[in-house]
């Protein structure tokens, strides 16, 4: 009975189900998902809207991802919004269809940043653009550039955003910038400016001191034109030529005076000249006629010979007299007598020269040099030879080492009208700058100090001879002055230097100076030792046996004294040249 009832119930249920038309397949459930990226990097925080068979919204996260799960089969559209304004997408919407159970349809969105912003500017000092400066950007993204020859820079293709602009790689401490960074915030498509204006910091200056003087062969020369106390040119019996001159140990005196009517004969010593100093260092004085000969001007210059050639001592007497520690008077006296009916022996014009090397006028046994000796011997005309000697006569300029300093005060090395310091006294009298340089102590007014000692190309400290130069480098800042001194070594206590204020390294307060500054120098007298004639004093820097040999002079530091003739500082090409070069 029960089996029959169960079978009937099942049959009834199947019949009822078929009668209602119900399906037995489950619904399709899928998803839509994707990633929003900008230049390959996921972008979070973007709004994503789903439309179509169902509506929903989401926000990207976890690297730009979004997902709409549990979607029934149907067509859907995904739209993104709310992304940054400097991001551009090729499309902001995408469509898909959910048609497969459990499958996620993918709609990705890839975009790029809009780079239309830029940062430009100028890096300058004193209105002068500084080339080669590195400009770096940090912030929204990074970037860099380099200033051009005019100091400008332009960094383009930037995103809008906030940046820190920083400069580096400029010459320090030559230039000083404060600040070296700026904040800028360019907007979309906007160009912003970041200028950096600095100031001169510390610059090295090269100072070159050149000895421009010529090497002079003779310290003294002159023409024997008129006998002492006479008006006539030629020297008759009883008349004399006489002149004063200075000479230092090792120097000699030579002269040439023609014998009138002799057809080319002249009086003079041999190539070694007349000695002026004895071996014991004392001056030669008295009769030196025995050192004089009579010479014949022929094809070669030779000693005059023959029965009719007079003895020198029968015609002239030559004497030397000391008139100072290194000063002499030379007298040439015609000792012949006038005899009625006989030709009188007379001397014509002549020349005289002080020399250190042999043969200043001629070389015995060799032809005349063509400088005028032949005209003197044959025609009694000494002008050409005197001029030729004069071209090589004078003081050979010699400069000495010295101290230097860059500073802001005045009177670093000396102050006119005041006594010389102990260091200046030693420097001016000996040429040694060590003590004076040591007095220039670094303080608030001294930037840098030192001493130049060795000529360019030299191996050891020493004086500066013609054609040589000293060079030194000194650091300077705006407001600094340059002071230095170089000794005038042919004197007792003289030196070249600018005035007590020095030379402005930045004349306009900003731009470094380069150029010739020789006309800013003065020849100063330290006032510590009595001046002797330049180039011949025995107590001068080049010739003294030891320091403090000269006569003390209790004077103030002042410009050069006028009691002797000194080289003219205004004629720079004749003696000294000083140039400054800003590096």
Sequence ranges of the domains in the chain: 29-113, 117-201, 207-212+396-582, 220-390
**What number of residues does the chain have?**
583
C-alpha 450/C-alpha 452 separation (Å) is 7
When the candidates are 3.40.50, 3.30.450, 1.10.10, 2.60.40, the CATH number that belongs to 207-212+396-582 is 2.60.40
* 29-113 against 207-212+396-582: fold identical: yes
pLDDT, greater one: 23 or 325: 325
Of the pLDDT bands very low, low, confident and very high (cuts 50, 70, 90), residue 517 is very high
Q: Which of 20-34, 217-231, 343-357 has the lowest mean pLDDT?
A: 20-34
Rounded to 10 degrees, what is the CA torsion of 428, 432, 435, 439? 60
149-180 as b/e, with b when 16 or more CB fall inside 10 Å?
eebbbebeebbbbebebbbeebeeebbbbeee
39 three-state secondary structure = coil
- 11 pLDDT more than 70: no
312 three-state secondary structure = helix
Maximum mean pLDDT: which of 135-139, 257-261, 548-552: 135-139
Average pLDDT over residues 299-318: 91
C-alpha 404/C-alpha 421 separation (Å) is 16
Say what the pLDDT of residue 570 is.
Answer: 44
- 470 pLDDT more than 50: yes
| Distances in whole angstroms, Cα of residue 578 to Cα of each of 204, 216, 360, 472, 575 | 16, 21, 34, 12, 10
Q: Which residues pair with 240 in a beta bridge?
A: 333
Say what the pLDDT of residue 567 is.
Answer: 56
Say what the pLDDT of residue 23 is.
Answer: 53
- The CATH number of domain 29-113 is 3.50.50.60: no
Q: What's the pLDDT tens digit per position in 263-282?
A: 899 999 999 999 999 999 99
Of the pLDDT bands very low, low, confident and very high (cuts 50, 70, 90), residue 195 is very high
74 three-state secondary structure = strand
In percent, the amount of the chain with pLDDT more than 90 equals 74
- Degrees to nearest 5, angle at CA 396 with 564 and 433: 85
What does the DSSP assignment read for 421-439? PHHHHHHHHH---HHHHHH
Q: Which residues pair with 265 in a beta bridge?
A: 296
Q: What's the pLDDT tens digit per position in 541-576?
A: 888 888 878 888 888 999 876 566 665 544 556 788
- 55 pLDDT more than 70: yes
Say what the pLDDT of residue 341 is.
Answer: 46
Of the pLDDT bands very low, low, confident and very high (cuts 50, 70, 90), residue 26 is confident
| Cβ neighbours for 424, distance < 8 A, ≥ 6 positions apart | 413, 414, 436, 526, 528, 557
Mean pLDDT of the chain: 90
Question: For the chain, how are helix, strand and coil distributed in percent, rounded to 5?
Answer: 10, 40, 50
Of the pLDDT bands very low, low, confident and very high (cuts 50, 70, 90), residue 417 is very high
Q: What is the pTM of this model?
A: 0.72
| 577, 518 contact by CB (below 8 A) | yes
Average pLDDT over residues 146-175: 94
Q: What is the DSSP letter of 545?
A: S
Q: Which CATH architecture has domain 117-201?
A: Sandwich (2.60)
Q: Long-range CB contacts (< 8 A, 24+ apart) of 3-12? A: none
- 481 pLDDT more than 80: yes
pLDDT, greater one: 185 or 561: 185
């Amino acid at each position: 009975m029960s089996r029959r009832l169960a079978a009937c119930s099942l049959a009834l249920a199947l019949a009822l189900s078929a009668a209602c038309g119900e399906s037995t397949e489950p619904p399709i459930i899928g998803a839509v998902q994707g990633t929003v990226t900008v230049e390959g990097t996921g972008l979070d925080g973007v709004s994503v809207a789903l439309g179509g068979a169902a509506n929903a919204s989401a926000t990207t996260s976890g690297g730009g991802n979004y997902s709409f799960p549990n979607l029934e089969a149907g067509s859907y559209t995904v739209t993104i919004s709310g992304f940054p304004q400097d991001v551009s997408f090729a499309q902001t919407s995408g469509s898909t269809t959910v048609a497969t159970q459990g499958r996620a349809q993918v709609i990705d969105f890839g975009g790029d940043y809009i780079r239309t912003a830029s940062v430009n500017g100028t890096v300058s000092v004193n209105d002068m653009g500084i080339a080669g400066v590195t400009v770096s950007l940090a912030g929204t993204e990074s970037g860099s550039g380099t200033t051009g020859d005019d100091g400008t820079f332009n960094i383009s293709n930037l995103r809008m955003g906030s940046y820190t602009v920083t400069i580096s790689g400029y010459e320090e401490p030559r230039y000083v910038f404060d600040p070296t960074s700026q904040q800028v915030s360019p907007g979309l498509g906007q160009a912003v400016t970041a200028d950096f204006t600095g100031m001169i910091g510390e610059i090295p200056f090269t100072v070159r001191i050149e000895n421009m003087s010529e090497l002079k062969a003779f310290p003294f020369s002159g023409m024997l034109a008129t006998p002492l106390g006479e008006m006539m040119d030629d020297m008759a019996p009883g008349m004399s030529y006489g002149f004063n001159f200075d000479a230092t140990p090792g120097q000699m005196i030579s002269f040439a005076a023609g014998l009138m009517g002799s057809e080319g004969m002249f009086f003079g010593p041999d190539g070694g000249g007349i000695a002026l100093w004895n071996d014991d260092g004392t001056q030669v004085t008295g009769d030196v006629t025995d050192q004089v000969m009579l010479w014949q001007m022929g094809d070669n210059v030779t000693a005059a010979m023959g029965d009719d050639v007079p003895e020198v001592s029968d015609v002239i007497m030559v004497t030397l007299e000391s008139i100072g520690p290194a000063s002499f008077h030379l007298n040439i006296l015609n000792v012949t007598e006038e005899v009625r009916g006989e030709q009188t022996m007379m001397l014509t014009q002549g020349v005289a020269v002080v020399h250190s090397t042999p043969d200043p006028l001629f070389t015995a046994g060799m032809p005349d040099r063509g400088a005028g000796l032949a005209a003197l011997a044959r025609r009694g005309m000494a002008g050409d030879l005197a001029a030729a000697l004069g071209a090589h006569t004078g003081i050979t300029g010699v400069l000495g080492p010295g101290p230097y300093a860059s500073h802001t005060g005045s009177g670093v090395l000396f102050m006119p009208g005041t006594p010389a310091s102990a260091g200046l006294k030693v420097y001016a009298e000996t040429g040694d700058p060590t003590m004076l340089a040591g007095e220039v102590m670094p303080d608030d007014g001294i930037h840098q100090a030192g001493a130049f000692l060795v000529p360019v190309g030299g191996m050891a400290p020493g004086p500066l001879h013609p054609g040589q130069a000293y060079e030194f480098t000194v650091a300077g800042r705006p407001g600094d002055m340059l002071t230095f001194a170089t000794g005038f070594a042919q004197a007792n206590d003289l030196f070249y230097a600018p005035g007590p204020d020095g030379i402005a390294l930045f004349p306009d307060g900003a731009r470094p100076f380069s150029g010739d500054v020789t006309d800013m120098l003065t020849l100063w007298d330290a006032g510590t030792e009595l001046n002797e004639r330049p180039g011949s004093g025995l107590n001068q820097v080049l010739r003294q046996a030891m320091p403090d040999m000269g006569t003390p002079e209790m004077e103030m530091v002042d410009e050069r004294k006028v009691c002797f003739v000194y080289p003219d500082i205004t004629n720079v090409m004749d003696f000294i040249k000083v140039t400054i070069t800003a590096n």
